[in-house]
Amino acid sequence: MPKGCRRKSSKDFGLSGTRVNEGSRVERTTVGKASQTCDDLVQKAVPLTMMDAPRVPSVTITPESGGSSREMQQEDWDDAVDGTLRRKLSNSSISSTGSSAVESEDDLLSDNESKSKGIITLEHLVDAGESKPWWKLKTIVQWPFSATQRRKLNWVQLAGHKGNFKAADEGNILKKFSENEMQCFEKLREDALLPFVPSYHGTVEKDGESFLHMTDLLVNFDLPNVMDCKMGVRTYLEEELVRARERPKPREDLYNKMMEVDSEGPTSQEHSQRGVTKPRYMQWRETMSSTNTLGFRIEGIKKCDGTCRTDFKKTRSMQDVIHVFKDFVGGNVNILKSYLSRLREIQQALKASHFFRQHEVIGSSLLFIHDHTSNAQVWIIDFGKTTALPEGQMLSHDIPWQEGNREDGYLWGLENLIHTLESVSNEETDGETSYSDAK
């Protein structure tokens, strides 16, 4: 049972303040000149076809009012890849162990300050009927359910837009309608990926709003631990890049989010206009995290002790990611093995999937869920930005992206994710062996 999740001790909740290694070691592509063990990991983790980090085409950043423009230069990209940005970040004043109590529903998991700072305190609820402690994220909109029913709802939103979810009938949730996502679910009904996506039950109208009605993935878990990993080497659509080039719209909210992480992140022009365009922000997020170097990144973790963290914007190196995974599974090798076997099943299904071949999969996540009974599952979620290709076009998902080819690096990222978990599993197993040897 992971530490801190035994039901008897659930009253002892508080912020465990897990700390990700934010060391200042400089990395190129993945780990660079790290220790031998680390080099080995990198060799395993980075297939030759993707050894070079994907190149980002230039984005022209011009204020709408028509001020001077600045091209995102190759040097910017190189800086990001070789770690310059990371070094700057390691001096960031943002604490990764601080907490922020949530005052209102709107404060939680929105794209605002409390989300950006990353640690969120959850409400501790006790179901009167069963004296059963539940941790509830307040983003669950108060639907017309009895208090007891609401207390049993344990759905959690770790990433994405605030207010996207509502509680539904038992075992289900409602997600804000997206035409794109609905079409994906419809097509997935006949696809090899069906066993790995949430069951979709059609659309629902409530108070003049439309929702997708789907299974709550947490329903069969007892005090679940949840991790959201966003997959792929790119998190924005090619069309967003084109739009930003044609009609650049510097956004102040994105500028502020960038400043929260790294006050030296914005260029001088971005500072003076107090705005960054969305692709520029997304590219910055990708270079800052492991998206570009590993093809996936950790977005958020909600643990069974009630803590919820989304402060992984700087979790970039393989070692950082290993550290987070180790903490997430609490040293439980059985859970790691279940996750690995599920990931390999997903990998096989993706390779067999017609849907996958014919879609650019952007912003989709793998949701890891386990509990103290060692029940562990991984699901493919979030198809809001998954876009069908023109008739006859197909993606391989494991070759580098160049603007125009629409590749997303999903399979490459999955391969790296599997290697990462294998490394965690090996390290945990070795640890157990040396411990028993020593005894």
Q: How far apart are CA 262 and CA 283, in angstroms?
A: 14
Binding to ligand I3P by residue 278, rule CB under 6 A? yes
Q: State the nearest-atom distance from the C-beta of 157 to ligand I3P, in Å.
A: 12
Site track 159-178 with ligand I3P (rule: CB under 6 A), x = hit: --x-----------------
- In the complex with ligand I3P, the residue whose CB is nearer, 297 or 370, is 297
Binding to ligand I3P by residue 363, rule CB under 6 A? yes
- In the complex with ligand I3P, the residue whose CB is nearer, 113 or 209, is 113
Piece in contact with ligand I3P (CB under 6 A), picked from 199-207, 278-286, 326-334, 415-423: 278-286
Site track 319-358 with ligand I3P (rule: CB under 6 A), x = hit: ----------------------------------------
- In the complex with ligand I3P, the residue whose CB is nearer, 138 or 249, is 249
Q: State the nearest-atom distance from the C-beta of 165 to ligand I3P, in Å.
A: 14
Piece in contact with ligand I3P (CB under 6 A), picked from 21-29, 277-285, 336-344, 393-401: 277-285
Binding to ligand I3P by residue 152, rule CB under 6 A? no
The tokens describing 169, both together, are 């009938």
Out of 25, 152, 285, 397, which residue is the one contacting ligand I3P (CB under 6 A)?
285
Out of 117, 257, 316, 370, which residue is the one contacting ligand I3P (CB under 6 A)?
257
Q: Which of residues 207-236 bind ligand I3P (CB under 6 A)?
A: 235
Q: Which of residues 102-131 bind ligand I3P (CB under 6 A)?
A: 111
Count of chain residues binding ligand I3P (CB under 6 A) = 9
- In the complex with ligand I3P, the residue whose CB is nearer, 365 or 423, is 365
Kindly tell me the sign of the dihedral angle through the C-alpha atoms of 210, 215, 219, 223: negative
Q: State the nearest-atom distance from the C-beta of 65 to ligand I3P, in Å.
A: 21
Q: How far apart are CA 157 and CA 136, in angstroms?
A: 10
Q: Which of residues 379-418 bind ligand I3P (CB under 6 A)?
A: 385
- In the complex with ligand I3P, the residue whose CB is nearer, 111 or 209, is 111
Residues lying near ligand I3P in the complex (CB under 6 A) are found at 111, 161, 235, 257, 278, 282, 285, 363, 385
